[in-house]
Homo-oligomer: A and B are copies of this chain.
Amino acid sequence: MKLTIYLAGQIHDDWREDVKEKANKRELPLEFVGPQTNHERSDNVGEDIIGKQPGNYYKDDAASAINNLRTQVLMQKADLVIALFGEKYKQWNTAMDVSTALALNKPTIIIRPESLIHPLKELSNKANVTVETIDQALDVIAYIYE
Select which of B60, B96, B131 is within 8 A of A95 by beta carbon.
B96
In the complex, per-residue mask of A74-93: 1 if CB is within 8 Å of any chain B CB, else 0: 10110110000000011111
Q: Cβ of A33 and Cβ of B69 under 8 Å apart?
A: no
Q: Which residue of B lies closest to A98 (CB)?
A: B96
A122 to B122, CA, bound (A): 19
Are A65 and B129 CB-contacts (below 8 A) given A49-B136, A58-B54, A123-B93? Answer: yes
Is A96 within 8 A of B143, CB to CB? no
A122 with B143: in contact, given A117-B56, A128-B69, A131-B49 (CB under 8 Å)? no
Query: Inside 8 A of A58's CB, which chain B residues have their CB?
Result: 54, 58
* Contact assessment for A60 and B143 in the assembled complex, using a CB-CB cutoff below 8 Å: no
In the complex, the chain B residue whose C-beta lies closest to that of A89 is: B119
Q: Mark A45-70, 1 if CB is under 8 A from B, else 0.
A: 10011100011111011011111111
Write out the residue numbers on chain B whose beta carbons fall within 8 Å of the beta carbon of A146: 36, 38, 41
CA A70 to CA B73, docked complex, whole Å:
23
Q: Cβ of B68 and Cβ of A92 under 8 Å apart?
A: no
Query: A144 → chain B, closest Cβ, in Å?
Result: 5
Contacting B at CB under 8 A, from A92-114, are 92-93, 95-100, 102-105, 107, 109
